[in-house]
């Protein structure tokens, strides 16, 4: 049987990270004590938001499907038309804009135990995201080539594929 609440969630995350061979995997004994290190939780959150934003912009491949086709026939230099069409359709449907991490989701806490505290935590988190956004934009203003991938106004709030 699954553990209740957040313990069940963290146990599932642990199983999945071990299966995927993530380096940020937590020690299973920490789950028994409810002492999962903050850096492990941060790594999970970063992976499903910012890292996914960084590597998941499949719409970029429209320019040259030879770069990202699902398969090539041995001896040929590019994908066949069917593979190109499959990649194009996948890119079109998985690159649809999704809600961004910096948006206000305080409505999610309505009626929850500790609603006011949860709303205050979310407001503080959004303030921190705004500071991150400012830093990203300031660094990009000094760059010849911008790197907007970690801007919280662009990072989606989930892997919503």
Taking only the tens place, the pLDDT of each residue in 80-122 is: 888 888 887 877 777 777 888 899 999 999 999 999 999 999 9
Q: Are 149 and 54 in contact (CB under 8 A)?
A: yes
Structure tokens at 50: 């910012």
d(CA 133, CA 127): 10
Give the other-Cβ count within 10 Å of 126's Cβ: 17
d(CA 155, CA 94): 15
Vertex 12: Cα angle to 49 and 10 (nearest 5): 75
DSSP reduced 3-state for 100: strand
Task: Provide the total of helices (H) and of strands (E) in the chain, helices listed first.
Answer: 6, 0
d(CA 137, CA 16): 34
Share of the chain above pLDDT 90, in %: 27
Structure tokens at 160: 């919503």
Share of the chain above pLDDT 70, in %: 75
What's the mean pLDDT when you consider all of the chain?
A: 79
- pLDDT, position 13: 74
Buried b (16+ CB within 10 A) or exposed e, 21-33: ebeebbeeeebee
Q: Are 56 and 154 in contact (CB under 8 A)?
A: no
Q: pLDDT band for position 26 (50/70/90)?
A: low
Structure tokens at 120: 């205050």
What does R_g of the chain's alpha carbons equal in angstroms? Answer: 20
């Amino acid at each position: 049987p699954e553990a209740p609440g957040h313990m069940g969630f963290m146990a599932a995350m642990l199983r999945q990270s071990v299966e995927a061979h993530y380096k940020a995997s937590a020690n299973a004994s920490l789950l028994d004590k409810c002492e999962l290190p903050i850096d492990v939780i941060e790594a999970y959150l970063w992976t499903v938001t910012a890292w996914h934003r960084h590597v998941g912009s499949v719409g970029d491949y429209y320019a040259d499907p030879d770069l990202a086709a699902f398969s090539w026939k041995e001896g040929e230099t590019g994908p066949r038309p069917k593979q190109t069409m499959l990649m194009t359709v996948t890119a079109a449907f998985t690159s649809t804009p999704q809600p961004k991490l910096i948006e206000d989701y305080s409505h999610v806490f309505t009626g929850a135990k500790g609603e006011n505290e949860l709303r205050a935590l979310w407001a503080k988190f959004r303030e921190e995201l705004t500071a991150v956004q400012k830093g990203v934009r300031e660094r990009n203003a000094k760059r010849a080539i911008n790197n907007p991938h970690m801007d919280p106004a662009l990072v989606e709030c989930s892997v919503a594929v």
